[in-house]
Structure 1
């Protein structure tokens, strides 16, 4: 493999990982897609490539689309609710508001409701601002068809996405208040932080105990967390970290990550609580994952 080809891949690696991760919601699968992209890239005659970045994105998108369909079949047999795999991210991700929103747990869950092609088109157009003709080549559609898919996906996401961007400072303030309320058993303060229709989801993957189904409603969710917190025991510690571009709570037991707790916040209230307990989804939580647009 030529040095020029290796340099091009390394230069765009963070971008390619971000594209694959946003399409899949799984860091492990995104890494596999990058390996597949690299293998495809090694067989390309660079003299025929006009835009290396666009070409690499096209390969990555096609590989991710194939894996997305496989991942869909895996989710059908997954034990309990499936949540995206959390990433420990650098503070600068939060500074890019659009990137932070696009990789947030809340947005990744919204994108789960799209078809594979809709998800690919939405990610490439709305997040990475690729022109329609490049997207068309990546998803094997005409530019006209891609425009229609983009419009449909945009409308679908708009009806479900978090209402307005929330700054890292706002997220941290709500998260800190939430932690204080559950640690002290302050049920009323917790109820004040939760939206009436708040939803709590837990992902244990059949490996660790987690919520077998969504819990909905402020009263049920507040009592769930105040009761659950009191049973954690003395070997548990808490820390706030940047996860998927937003402050989130890491719960450690004997120093090992037990739970990654992310929030969805709308209009100052918590509307979603996402607890990832499956240890197989914690592999990208000990080292920062570099994301890029």
Structure 2
């Protein structure tokens, strides 16, 4: 994998290759109108996602739950680390109202990791799902959850009783890089969560995502694909890692669009039903389309 593509400097800061130069179309009137009506901020807006206009135009948005302070300190992530505030019991209702005002047809719910909460926030996810469905019965809900490593069994039970339309947990990287990229997590633990949920709820599409350009080899990447398939995952997202700053993990390489297409084909050959792979692909990119590939209406 080191032979192709564009190498990045060790610091993670260099001029982007041509295929990574894109202007976010945030100036459109539709986008501005939506932004003005947001009682609750979206991850799309705060992360300055390059796909924001495309997703909003398709009636999709991603929301960050349980605050903006994480109990983990992953080296790829720009979210603040520290002691979070208590969970906001009004958040599920506020979220449902935000989705109603935006007229969304598909909502992706993610969160910071809350190791300080006994169930890792599983019941908060469930409360948000119920609230959304009460107010917006036609809106599909995908959850992108942390690893729930302190009480995985309880979390799986809770989120089986109040199941989403898609259950997503990102593996993020290959096992050889876990210790440096996700020091608070375990590769085997993430696979176990996915496998447990699949065994509990085999009818719910299972999804995961991985970043590339962190120094992984192609063999490691494809083995991770296979590990995910063996755990029951049928939907996959693969995107370019971009370092948030000099204190974060550096970008080792910029993967070319042609390589991303090869990754997509390899995933489909392994039996994934849907795979979104590309320089700008993020976990929730074309989430509704991937769900439909898994048999969702």
TM-score (norm 1): 0.23
Higher helix share: 1
Relative contact order higher in (CA < 8 Å, ≥ 6 apart): 1
Larger Rg over CA atoms: 1
Normalised to the residue count of structure 2, the TM-score between the two structures is 0.23
